Structure 1
Amino acid sequence: MNRRDVLKLAAQSAVFAQLAPIFTAPAQAAGKKELRYIPEADLNILDPVWSTSTIVAVYGHMVFDTLYGFDKDYNVHPQMAEGHSVSDDKLQWTVKLRDGLQFHDGQPVLAKDCVASIQRWGKRDFMGSALLSVVETLTAVDDRTLQFKLKKPFPLLPMTLATSGSNMPAMMPERLAQTSPNEQVRESIGSGPYRFVKEEWVSGSKAVFEKFAGYKPRSDSFPPSYTAGPKIAHFDRVVWNIIADASTAAAALQAGEVDIIEMVGADFLPVLKAEPSVQLLPRSTPNFAIMRFNHLQPPFNNPAIRQALLKAIDQRAIMAGTFGEENKAFWQFGVGYFSPDSPMANKAGLEAFTSPRDFKKAAAEIKAAGYDGEPVVVLDPVDYPWTHPCTLLAADTLKKVGLNVDIQAMDWGTLMQRRQSQEPPGKGGWNIFLTALSGMSNFNPVGHIGLRGNGKDAWVGWPTAPRLEELRQQWLDAPDEAAQKKICEEIQKQALVDVPYIPLGAFATVSGYSNNLTDIQLQRPLFTTMKTKS
């Protein structure tokens, strides 16, 4: 009997039913309509501008709001903005805020808050930095009007302010937005549909959100879609229970002790599929598993070693081993550096991932490149449902090509902190970690955090890749989509030379919901519009 069979049998045993009482009882008896949720990881950062982590973005879209939003088809719509006007020469954008916007501390949302928020966010986010690089002035004309005066036309301005796949352009009070972009904001005051209840927050255990009575949804005629349209909170409270153990989570959903599991472990999909009280729904926006290198430290400061690994990494084997061959409807291999469902996706150089794997050749090239056996520190987040097994599978490949692998176990929160270190691995740094990029973050090269090559100003890993930077600027200056697509083919080819990271495949997170829930948005966990059937 293999590991998956053992876990499937265990999940069906009565033992799991005894684990459910660790969760708090529903609050409906106290007159509160409560939604109980198990997120994919712990929440330990309260600043969605500072972090690119998915869990922080999920929290961010509950507590904060953005000037613009994306629908499920990548179209951009005003969100906090009522609308905008553009001058004939395209060098002046005037954005008007909706009336009645309010922060959770009771203060009105003013244009000066948005100006400060954009300026801070633009120093952290790559799309934001592209915008700020062409901004001559950004000012608050009055309490509800902010104005961009540009050095040259920037038609991507609304799309940039709708960014959702990396650092969130969250609007926050001016006093918080004046925090250095290199420091985390520790307060949680947004203007979104839910308020973070910090006094009930227990890191590693629970996070609580309450419906914000002062939130004013849009009155658009189109239904809500992803981060666009009216955001309507149907629950008084949303309680996150931080449960890393997949079997405990599955048992709790089966027993009705929670309403949602964000990421169902692959071993428990068959169990929950057979449960009549549960609906399994895949996220419609794909995630892209990647192996990220530290380009500042040996051995991966050597491009020849990174390139050699392209011959050994088997996307299909890693996806099947992580998510199960029986669940292949939820994952795919043979993917490159752009989201397959996006306009910029292309097949240039994809044979690097689809041709037969050659461990011997990869090992020989690594040795010829000068690898001398130094430890390769791989960060392993043991509490993350898919990343832990995926890390072990990837580490096994690294061993097969002769690398001296040192797997260091930790929780996801610790990994997020440690991956910021530029120190040598022996002094608290690292060589490799695995993570996922959202399809909404890699559908164009400007907001694609993994493709920046601007050295120590790049995302963690800090690759220096001048040609990638040149091509990124060419894409920004391209006259039309056809030209942009051609440039993206060149970007993908160049990424296979610089290898800022290695794509490991794409997958859809499969979430488990109580059958009593309806109107669920599937792009990412969003707690508005969703409601109970009865």
Structure 2
Amino acid sequence: MRRVKGALAAAAAVLFSASVEAQTLKVVMHSDVKIVDPIWTTAYIVRNHGYMIYDTLLAVDDKLAVKPQMLESWKVSDDKLTYTFTLRDGLKFHDGAAVTAEDCIASIKRWASRDAMGQKLMGSVKSMTAVDPKTFTLVLNEPYGLVIESLGKPSSNVPFIMPKRVAETPGNTQITDFTGSGPFVFRRDLWRPGEKAVYDKFKDYKPRAEPPSALSGGKNVYLDRVEWVNIPDPQTAANALLTGEIDMIEQPLIELLPMFEKDKNIEIVDYNPLGSQYSLRFNVLHKPFDNARIRQAVLYALNQKDFLLAGINDPKYFKECKALFICGTPYATDKGFEDKLTSNFAKSKEILKQEGYDGTPVVLLYATDTNTGRLTPVAKSLLERGGFVVDMQAMDWQTVLSRRSRKEPLNAGGWSGFMTSWVSADLLDPIVSAFVGAACDKAAIGWPCDAKLEELRDAFAKTTDPAKRKEYAEAVQVRESEYPTLAHLGQFNIPVAKRTTVTGNLISPAPVFWNVRKAQ
């Protein structure tokens, strides 16, 4: 009898173990998680981490319409100067404390100190005041056309809600308390940078009643745990997916997709059909890119197709597009860039000669472990053919994230440029596009400083006239061709590769793991 009971217990233990394992989703993300403050950096892996453990007041649906999320409702005064926000019932932080209006105000302020769109919003804000624990007001100095859109910003930086004690950390200082308000809890005790990050279901999270849609609606969690496993070698990650050791790869190499397509247990799905855009970001603080005309020379030396071929390779997944604010959207235009991004090396060299370029090296940060890292040698080659001297310095992406925040001179650990990409949802207009902001020390990394760009962005933000907004957006793009803050290098899509046992993934500008199920 004891043997029978022992056998039954052992069988039950095996079944329990299998059940637990079935509720653990293992994913290879596009990068390792080493920085965990989604306000301190715009890096997408940190934004993705933010969506795991924090919630937002407002959120966009799959049509990019802004919906209430932590809010029950909001109302606007007749003079358009006072917004009153009311939180819904049952909101808790991971430590059990209720989410309050004071937490929201502190979180908005910290986000706005780092985010270009937030800075524009706060420039028109007279005050934010808690009325009671669930209600706060935002009062404007003058009508501002993008209040709701700003607080519902879907991507980097996202106005995530943190406890007041955490949100009072200065925006330029990384937080050390990771108490969240969202559907997953970050297991700091299990976090192994270089190996994995672990997120457990927050059992006290109260989802909205509506069906989920992109980043909005009911964030119902059906998994006990999500593990982001770091496997930097793409082929090793692919093999792990094929054998079932992992369940999903966020950004597989395009070259590996045909192999996945032959396996009946693997699905290839694009959950971000709006796609992304490659870019080269300039640091304007130091030579040679402190000179706008020399940055113009870069625009002549580069071309989009070479970067798209290097990063994506398959024309099915990319397109050349000179529209800074994304082809196929209301503000798409080629204005200002008709003769640029064509690898006109003679024109690049002509400008360098006119501006007295003295051979100061362009220090390019080269991330060796991401898709965008594949673009850096292309940039080096094209810039050299355009007359530049280039110093390409290799490191992993997490080191790039730390290094790019430094303002030191080039000979003291500084930098001139780096390759990155933005999801298109981050680039749809002059305000949401962080790299277009040119507010000097308050601007995003690279710190461009141009009064004309800021005047045009202010005009765009304050009007609600669609025709005027289109006019201002075009003027911003023309000014970008004169005072470049970045070089935009084409649009692309990278689908997810996942096992067929994984279902429920949402169409969204950012990968999210609520609504996801994993079958036995």
Q: TM-score range by the shorter chain?
A: over 0.9
The 1-side partners of 2:326 and 2:202 are apart by 35
**1:308 partnered with 2:293:** no
The 2-side partners of 1:497 and 1:30 are apart by 57
Normalised TM-score (structure 1): 0.91
**Which SS does the other structure have where 1:272 is aligned?**
helix
Equivalent residue, structure 1, for 2:260? 272
Amino acid in the other structure paired with 1:450: F
Match of 1:400 among 361, 379, 385: 385
**Which SS does the other structure have where 1:122 is aligned?**
helix
Match of 1:470 among 455, 470, 481: 455
**1:293 partnered with 2:282:** yes
How big is the shift at 1:321?
2.3
**Which SS does the other structure have where 1:440 is aligned?**
helix
Match of 1:157 among 137, 147, 153: 147
Match of 2:246 among 245, 251, 258: 258
Identity of aligned residues (%): 36
Any conservation in 1 of the 2:437–2:448 contact (CA below 8 Å)? yes
Normalised TM-score (structure 2): 0.94
Equivalent residue, structure 1, for 2:358? 372
Equivalent residue, structure 1, for 2:420? 435
Q: Does 142-151 or 61-70 show the bigger shift?
A: 142-151
The 2-side partners of 1:154 and 1:302 are apart by 33
**1:115 partnered with 2:105:** yes
Q: Does 518-527 or 339-348 show the bigger shift?
A: 339-348
1:424-503 mapped onto 2 (5 Å cutoff) = 424-503=409-488
Q: Deviations over 1:130-170 (max 9, x none)?
A: 22222222111111111112212224222111112221101
Match of 1:144 among 109, 128, 134: 134
The 2-side partners of 1:175 and 1:58 are apart by 22
Any conservation in 1 of the 2:294–2:352 contact (CA below 8 Å)? yes
Q: Does 298-307 or 75-84 show the bigger shift?
A: 298-307
Q: Deviations over 1:345-385 (max 9, x none)?
A: 2232342346x53223322322332111222211001011x
How big is the shift at 1:522?
3.0
Any conservation in 2 of the 1:517–1:531 contact (CA below 8 Å)? yes
Amino acid in the other structure paired with 1:374: T
Gaps of 5+ in 1: 1-25
Q: Does 308-317 or 421-430 show the bigger shift?
A: 308-317
Any conservation in 2 of the 1:234–1:530 contact (CA below 8 Å)? yes
The 1-side partners of 2:54 and 2:491 are apart by 28
How big is the shift at 1:73?
1.6
Equivalent residue, structure 2, for 1:352? 339
**1:516 partnered with 2:505:** no
Q: Deviations over 1:266-314 (max 9, x none)?
A: 2212211222211112232321110111111111111221112222211
**Which SS does the other structure have where 1:426 is aligned?**
helix
Q: Deviations over 1:470-516 (max 9, x none)?
A: 10011112241111011111111110000111111111122111112
Gaps of 5+ in 2: 1-15
Q: Deviations over 1:75-119 (max 9, x none)?
A: 100000001111111211111101000100111111111111111
Amino acid in the other structure paired with 1:28: A
Q: Does 312-321 or 233-242 show the bigger shift?
A: 312-321
- 1:453/1:516 CA distance change after superposition, 3 Å: same
The 2-side partners of 1:253 and 1:416 are apart by 28
Match of 1:233 among 215, 221, 225: 221
Any conservation in 2 of the 1:48–1:167 contact (CA below 8 Å)? yes
The 2-side partners of 1:405 and 1:377 are apart by 6
The 1-side partners of 2:220 and 2:326 are apart by 29
How big is the shift at 1:422?
1.0
Any conservation in 2 of the 1:332–1:506 contact (CA below 8 Å)? yes
How big is the shift at 1:47?
1.4
**1:248 partnered with 2:236:** yes
The 1-side partners of 2:162 and 2:360 are apart by 45
The 1-side partners of 2:116 and 2:346 are apart by 38
**1:320 partnered with 2:309:** yes
**1:193 partnered with 2:193:** no
Q: Deviations over 1:194-234 (max 9, x none)?
A: 110000000111100000001111012xx322211111111
Any conservation in 2 of the 1:46–1:187 contact (CA below 8 Å)? no
Equivalent residue, structure 1, for 2:514? 528
Q: Does 193-202 or 264-273 show the bigger shift?
A: 264-273
